[in-house]
Structure 1
Amino acid sequence: MNLETVSIRAEELWQFAITGLTDTNTYVQVTIVILVYLLAFWLAGKIRNTVGLTHHEPDLSAHPMRKLAYRVGYLVYPLIALVVLKVIIETSANNGFPTWFLDTALTIAVLLFYYSMIRVLVVNPVAAKLFKWVGIPILLLHLIGSLGAVIMALEDISLTLGNVNITAYGVVRVLIFGAVLFWLGRASNSFGKDIIRKQESIDIRTREVFSKLFEVALFCIIALLLLNVMGINLTALAVFGGAVGVGLGLGLQSIASNFISGIIILLDRSLTVGDFVEMDDGSKGFVREFRMRYTVLETYDGKDILVPNEKFISNLIVNWTHKDPKQRYRVDFSVPYATDIRAMVELIKEAVAEHPSVISGMDVPFEERPDCEIDSFGDSGVNMFVEFWMEGIDDGKNRVGGDLMLIIFETLRENGIEIPFPQREVRILNDELLKGKTTT
C-alpha cells in the first residue's frame, strides 16, 4: 500500500463522515441508540428489583446457584440492550432503512456484554486478564470481519517437521483454547462440587462419591476437547490406550489402586468426613477431605496427614466415631487403705458428673452415667478408676481427662483423703545385738 492509496482511503473516510453528519438518518439512529439504552436500563432495574434472586445479595453460606443468579443479574442490562438493538437493525434492514450507525452500536454492545461477562463470572484475576487482553481483540476482529484475514496470515507462517506441519495459527489456537478449557475445568469443578455438597437430602458419603465422579468425568471431557482442538484423531488413540493400560498394570498400579480404593471407601460408607480414625501405625486425626489419591487427616495439633486411600482398605484402622460420637473413657487414681471406699465412690461420681462434657443425669441410661470402681489392691493403696461417657474425642480443645484428674484431686483433698505414695517400713528384729554393737 503506497502513499497515494492511503490518501485516497483517507479522503473516502472523510467524505463518508461529512455525509453522515449531514444526513438526518444519522441523528435518527443516534436517538434510537440512546432510547434503547435508556429502555434497557429501566427494564433491567425493574427485573432486578422484582426478582428476589437478583435483588438481595446472598451471604457466604448461600447455595452456589443463589450466588450465581445474583451475579448474572448484572448481565440483564447489557443483554437487553443487545437484543433490542439486534431486533431494530433486522427490522430496519428489511424496510430499507440505513443502519450503519446502528451496526456500529451493536458491535460496541457485543463488546460491552462480553466485558460484563468477564467482570461478573470470572473470579480468577489471571483468567480475567486473559479474557480481556486476548478475547476482546479476537471478538472485535470477528465483528468487523477481519478475523479471517488474520487467520490466513497466521496459517502462512508454518514449520514442517517430517510429516507434521506446525502453523502459527495452530499453536495460537491450542494455547488459547487450552487456557480457556483449563480455567473452565477448574471453575466448573469447584462450582459443581459445591452444588453437590449443598444437597442436604443426600447423605454426606453419597455426596462425596458424586463429587469425585463429577471431577473425573469433567476432566476426561476437557482432555478430549483439548485433543480435538490440537487436531489429534481420537481413533488413533486406541493403540496408545492399550499401552496406557499396560502402564497402569505395571508402573501406575499404585495410583490406580489409590483411586479405586477412594471410590470403594465412599461407596461402602466405612469412612466419612468428620470421623476420627486411628491408623495401625499410630497416626490419628479427623477425616477432612477425600481426594483422588489420598485422604486428608487433620490432627489436634493442626497438622494434615495425607494417607493413601489403599491403606484404609488393606490396613487395620480404628474409627472412633463411625456409629456413635459418644465415647467411654476412664481416669485412674489411688486412695489409702484407711479410706471409706463406699463414701468416697459417691463423692467422686458426683464431682465427675458436674463436668459439662460428661454425660450424666437421671434421664441418661444407668450404664452411661459416671461410675467409680475398685481396679486392684496396690502396694501403697487401693487402685481406683472412674469411667465416664462423653461426646467426641478426649483430646485437643476437648481435653476432659485432664480436667477430671484435677477435679478428683481437689475432691479428695477437700475430704481429707490423701493420694498414697510408696513408703517403706524398716523393722529391727534383734534390738540387743544392735545396742551391743553401738556400745562397742
Structure 2
Amino acid sequence: MDWDNPPAFVAQGIEYARQGWDIAQTWALSPAAWSQFAILVAAFLLAWLITRRLRPALARVLTPPEDQVHILARARRFLLLFLPLLLPLLAYVLTGIGENVTRSVFGSGAVIAFGQRLFLFLAVRALVRDIISDPFLKLLGRYVLIPVAALYVLNLLGPVTERLESTIVPLGNMSFDLLWLIKAVVAGAIAFWLGRWSNEQSATYIQSQEEMRPATRQLAAKAAEIAIFGAAFLVLMNFLGIPLTSLAVLGGAIGVGLGFGLQKIASNYISGLILLLEGQATVGDYVELDNGEAGTIVKTTARAMFLETFDGRWIVVPNEDFITTRVVNYSDQGSANRYEAPFSVSYDTDINLVPGIIEEAVSKLDFILQEPDGPDCELRAFGDSGVEFAVEFWVNGIDDGKNRFTPQVLFAIWNALKAHDIEIPFPQQVVHHKGLGTATPPGA
C-alpha cells in the first residue's frame, strides 16, 4: 500500500485516529479535563452507592406474590426486568448534572460529555444483554442498536450517517441511498415483528372467548390478522416515504396474475372466507371427505384445511373442495354422535332376552348418553353361523377410527353374554358327502 497516497477510506481512518490522538493529548494536559474525569468517577461511585441501597428496595416493591396474575401484577413484573438499567441511567443523570457545573465553571465539558455518552452506551448494552429476551429483538439490538450507540459514543454517528446518505445505489430506473436501505430493512423487520406479536395476542384473546362459536372465532382472528398486517404495511410505506399511488402498477400486475396463473389460489382463499362466514367446518370438527378419508380439522389457513386422521396422518385439503364436493361434517366441537357395535349369538339362544341384557350392560358405561336416546339393541339378520344383532349408542364426541368408544362397548357385550351363559358363535360349515346319506361336520 502506498502510504503517501492511501485509499480514501484509509485516509479517513488515519484522520480520525489523528483527531483522537490530539483530543487525548489535550485532555491529558488540561486541568479542566482532569476535573471532569474526577466528576465522572464521583458520579459513577455515587450512582453505585445509590443503586446498592435502592435496588433491593425496588425489587421488594415490584415483586408481586407468585399467585397473582392480574394486570397490575404483570406490570410490576415487567418493571422488575429493567432494574439492571438503574446503575448506568443514574450515572448518566448525575453526569449530566456534573456537565452543567463544569461548563459553568470551566466553559467546556467535552470529557464529561464523552463519559455521559459512555454511560448511555452501557445502558443500551445492558438492555440488549440482560432485559430483551425475544430472539429477534435481541438480534436487532446486537447488530443495530449497540453499533449505533457505539458510534454515538465516539461522536461518529453524524459522519457515518452522512456517508451512507451520500452513497447512491442505482436499481434500473430507481435509485436509493444506503441509509434509506438500512432504514427500510430495520423498519420492515420491526413492523413485521410487531404485526406478528399483535396478531398472536389478538388471536389468543379471541380464541379465549368461549361464548363465541368456533367459526366466528376463526373469522374474527382472520379479520384481525388482515387488519393488523394491513396497518403495519401502511405505516411502513408512510415511514419510508413511498406514496401508495406508486403501488397501483404493482396492484395491476397482481390482478393480472390472479386472473391467469393464480386462479386456484384465489378460489381457495375466497372459499376459506365463505367457510368461515357460514361456519360449515372449523377447527375441531370431524369430517369425512368425498373420497372416504376422514379426520379432525386441526388447522385452517387461507389456502387449505389440515385434517388429522385417527392414525396420526395429516391431510391437506384445499378450501375449494369443501365448497364444491360432498363433505360430511359429523359434529361441531362437543356434539353427540350415534354409533353401533355388531355382534352375534348362537341359534340355541332365547333371542328375546338378548336386547334387555345388552342394553342394560351398555347403559352402565360412563360415556354412554341417554339423550337423545339410550342404547338400543336390534335384531339385524339370521346369519350363516348365528343370529346377528347390533347395539346403537350415543356418545359425546367422535369415535375416530372406531378405536375410542366401540372397543369398550364390545367388551361390555362380551362380559354380559358370558355372564348369562349365552354362546357367541364362530364360523361353521357342514359338508355333505354324496352317496353316504349322512352329514359329517368338519373335524369329526
Structure 1 residues 8 and 394: CA distance shift in structure 2, 3 A: closer
1:384 to 384, 389, 393: 389
Q: Assess if the C-alpha contact under 8 Å between 1:44 and 1:80 holds in 2.
A: no
Q: 1:31 to 1:428 in 2, by over 3 A?
A: same
Unaligned 5+ residue runs, structure 2? 1-10, 438-444
**Aligned residue in 2 for 1:345:** 355
Equivalent residue, structure 2, for 1:405: 410
Q: Which residue of 1 aligns with 2:174?
A: 164
Q: 1:205 to 1:113 in 2, by over 3 A?
A: farther
In structure 1, the residue corresponding to 2:82 is in which secondary structure? helix
Q: Secondary structure at the residue paired with 2:332? A: coil
Instruction: Flag the 1:139–1:23 CA change in 2: closer, same or farther, 3 A.
Output: closer
One-letter amino acid of the counterpart of residue 27, structure 1: A
Letter in 2 for 1:285: G
CA shift in 2, pair 1:411/1:161, >3 Å: closer
Q: What pairs up with 1:18-33 in 2 under 5 angstroms?
A: 18-19=29-30, 23-24=34-35, 26-33=37-44
Q: Is residue 272 from structure 1 mapped to residue 272 from structure 2 by the alignment?
A: no
In structure 2, relative to structure 1, the CA distance for the partners of 1:198 and 1:105 (3 Å cut) is farther
Q: Counterpart in 2 of 1:140? A: 150
Question: Structure 1 residues 314, 368: closer, same or farther in 2, change over 3 A?
Answer: same
TM-superposed deviation, 1:214 = 2.5
Note closer, same or farther for the CA distance 1:222–1:116 as it changes in structure 2 (3 Å cut).
farther
Q: Distance in 1 between matches of 2:274 and 2:31?
A: 72
Structure 1 counterpart of 2:229, which letter?
F
Corresponding residue number in structure 2 for 1:96:
104
SS in 1 for 2:349: coil
Distance, in Å, in 1 between the alignment partners of 2:231 and 2:52 is 39
Q: Does 1:240 align with 2:247?
A: no
Secondary structure of the residue aligned to 1:333 is strand
User: How many Å separate the matches in 2 of 1:11 and 1:88?
Assistant: 24
Contact 1:193 1:211 in 2 (8 A): yes
Per-residue CA deviations over 1:16-69 (Å, capped at 9, x if unaligned) read: 14546885564344333433455456555544533466x6499xxx89998787
Write the letter of the residue equivalent to 2:96: I
Classify the secondary structure of the residue corresponding to 2:302: coil
- Structure 2 residue aligned with 1:10, among 7, 21, 36? 21
Q: Distance in 1 between matches of 2:403 and 2:115?
A: 65
Give the counterpart letter for 2:221 in structure 1: S
Q: What does the per-residue CA deviation read over 1:173-227, in whole Å, with 9 as the maximum and x for residues that have no partner? A: 4444444444444344334433443455655433322322232233334444555
Q: What is the aligned-residue RMSD (CA, Å)?
A: 4.1
Instruction: Report the counterpart of residue 419 of structure 1 in structure 2.
Output: 424
Cα deviation code 1:105-155 (max 9, x no counterpart): 54244334434444534422x652343023311233245542231133234
Aligned amino acid, residue 123 of structure 1 = D
Q: Does 1:282 align with 2:302?
A: no
How far has the Cα of 1:333 moved from its partner?
Answer: 1.8
Indicate conservation of the 8 Å contact 2:121/2:149, yes or no: yes
Among residues 74, 77, 84, which one is paired with 1:70 in the alignment? 77
Measured at CA, do residues 121 and 277 of structure 1 come closer, stay the same or move farther in structure 2, by a change above 3 Å? farther
1:297–1:201: structure 2 CA closer, same or farther, 3 Å change rule?
same
3-state SS of 2:142 partner = helix
Distance 2:244 2:171 in 1: 21
Change (3 A) 1:162 1:389: closer
What SS is found at the alignment partner of 2:353?
A: helix
Letter in 2 for 1:96: S
1:354-389 per-residue CA deviation (whole Å, 9 max, x = no partner) reads 334333xxxx45x63222221233344322111112
Whole-Å separation in 1 of the counterparts to 2:16 and 2:287: 80
Q: How many residues align?
A: 421
TM-score normalised to structure 2 length: 0.77
Q: Distance in 1 between matches of 2:70 and 2:268?
A: 31
Distance 1:4 1:238 in 2: 48
- Provide the residue aligned with 2:380 in structure 1: 375
Q: Structure 2: how far apart are the matches of 1:426 and 1:7?
A: 117
Q: Is the 8 A contact 2:99 2:113 kept in 1?
A: no
Partner of residue 159 from structure 2, selected from 129, 149, 154? 149
Query: Are residues 1:215 and 2:197 paired?
Result: no
CA distance change for structure 1 residues 81 and 4 in 2, over 3 Å: closer, same or farther?
closer
How far 1:330 sits from its partner (Å)? 1.0
Q: Give yes or no for contact 2:85–2:127 (8 Å, CA) kept in 1.
A: no
TM-aligned CA distance change 1:242 to 1:407, over 3 Å? same
Q: Helix, strand or coil for the counterpart of 2:352?
A: helix
SS at match of 1:211: helix
Inter-partner Cα distance in structure 2 for 1:162 and 1:46: 61
Residue identity in the other structure for 1:49:
R
Q: Which moved more, 1:187-196 or 1:235-244?
A: 187-196
Cα pair distance change 1:64/1:209, threshold 3 Å: farther
Give the CA deviation at 1:74.
Answer: 0.8
How far apart are the structure 2 equivalents of 1:101 and 1:195?
Answer: 52
Q: Tell me how far apart the structure 1 counterparts of residues 388 and 17 of structure 2 sit (CA, whole Å).
A: 106
Q: What letter is aligned with 1:13? A: A
For the 8 Å contact 2:47–2:91, the answer to whether it is kept is yes
Structure 2 residue matching 1:342: 3-state secondary structure: coil
Q: CA deviation at 1:271?
A: 2.8
- In 1, distance between residues paired with 2:382 and 2:363? 25
Q: Alpha-carbon deviation of 1:287?
A: 1.8
